[in-house]
Structure 1
Amino acid sequence: MKGYSIQNVGERSARARGKELDISLKDSVNIAHFLRGKRLQWAIDALEKVTQKKLAVPYFRYLDSVSHRKGMSSGRYPVKAARAFLEVLRNAEANAEFKSLDTENLVIRHIAATKGRMIKKYLPKAYGRAGAWFKDLVNVEVVVEEVES
């Protein structure tokens, strides 16, 4: 992962990135879709509710055997991925504050979760065999922009 997938970032914007996070790619894609275009403070509050299992993240992709939730369609409570996204969003907020932007008027303009490096390990089994143990890591990037209120 060399850089951000979005190249043109304005003066009134800040960005943050989480590299090679040990979270689920499927949960990350759905959380990114859930947060895209929302206000930053709303997104942070929503992710805190997800970690407390009070708000479910609606799933739009990877829906096989995902249960419906009360008052919405199918969704889950991806706590581990929500904590990782919270950290990235708080980093973006701190970067915006460093650039002296108004943190109350920040909107998530770009958020993406992409597949990162794969960790390949092998577990020994009986009779001289070995079983594969692969783990995909996830890259998360966020660009927030200040809007007029």
Structure 2
Amino acid sequence: MPRRITWKAVIAFSNHARNSWLGTQPTWKFDAKLRPVKVDFDIADDHPFAYPTVKMVRYAAVDRIPSAKSARSRGSYLRVSFKNTRETAQAINGWKLQRAVKYLENVQELKEAVPMRRYAGSTGRSAQGKQFGVSKARHPVKSAEFLLGLLKNAEANADTKGLDTSNLIVKHIQVNQAPKQRRRTYRAHGRINPYMSNPCHVELILTEADEAVTKAEDLSVSKGSRLNARQRGAQRRRAIASS
């Protein structure tokens, strides 16, 4: 027999708190007065809603990347530009660890640039962006410094786990916005301008690269040629006619 569970949601506000809260909401949302609400419905014991649970994870890709064969590193509330760090992180996503480390070192020395794809507003053009097929590129030295530290930390974790550090790749890297910090700077003639900061959270996972498997040669097609749809259709018709 299903178990009967009663869900009760009661909203109680003082007049002052109610008016203050409603004053911050769009008026079209509340065309009726707040009143106590009572909802009754039946839930079986084996129903997933009978025992509501919330699973909290520290890494976004924890479900699809096994922890036994991976090494992780993360940084929270980092005082570095979110937009520049996001673009730098996406540039090395999927790369081998040695190449990613060398690339970030080159960015710090202005030898290579970071392609600005999403957050590219007011970004100047750079010839070094041709390497990635873009015209807008920058050299976010501070973002490269923070990501380089996280990569080396993850590499040390991989070495502790006994993974082959020479065969690691950046399997997952993610940058999220952290709470913005607001300050003020005082200018001439009594003016005040914003002096804000946009920190970020960064997480990355290193895994051992899969063994490369050579694709088997297709004997039905002559080497060096590729059939289009019309040729494949004619080939099928000839095979049917001959059979």
TM value normalised by structure 2: 0.56
TM value normalised by structure 1: 0.88
Residue 95 of structure 1, CA deviation: 0.6
Return the alpha-carbon distance in structure 2 between the equivalents of residues 129 and 65 of structure 1: 26
Residue 69 of structure 1, CA deviation: 2.0
- Of 127, 132, 147, which residue of structure 2 is paired with 1:70? 127
Secondary structure class of the residue paired with 1:54: coil
- Identify the residue that residue 6 of structure 1 maps to in structure 2: 61
Secondary structure class of the residue paired with 2:196: strand
Higher mean Cα deviation, 96-105 or 4-13?
4-13
Structure with bigger gyration radius: 2
- 1:19-47 Cα deviation digits (max 9, x unpaired): 11111111111111101110011000000
Q: Residue 76 and residue 122 in structure 1: after superposition, are their counterparts in 2 closer, same or farther (change >3 A)?
A: closer
Greater length-normalized contact order (CA 8 Å, ≥ 6 residues apart): 1
Q: Residue 98 and residue 135 in structure 1: after superposition, are their counterparts in 2 closer, same or farther (change >3 A)?
A: same
- Identify the residue that residue 81 of structure 2 maps to in structure 1: 24
- 1:111-146 Cα deviation digits (max 9, x unpaired): 011101222334567899865433221111110001
Higher mean Cα deviation, 46-55 or 127-136?
127-136
Return the alpha-carbon distance in structure 1 between the equivalents of residues 92 and 191 of structure 2: 44
Return the alpha-carbon distance in structure 2 between the equivalents of residues 119 and 125 of structure 1: 19
Instruction: Give the root-mean-square deviation of aligned CA atoms.
Output: 2.1
The AA in structure 1 aligned to 2:86 is V
Determine whether 1:138 maps to 2:200: yes
Return the alpha-carbon distance in structure 1 between the equivalents of residues 120 and 86 of structure 2: 12
Residue 3 of structure 1, CA deviation: 1.8
Secondary structure class of the residue paired with 1:119: coil
Higher mean Cα deviation, 65-74 or 27-36?
65-74
Determine whether 1:56 maps to 2:118: no
- Identify the residue that residue 81 of structure 1 maps to in structure 2: 143
Residue 83 of structure 1, CA deviation: 0.2
Structure with greater strand percent: 1
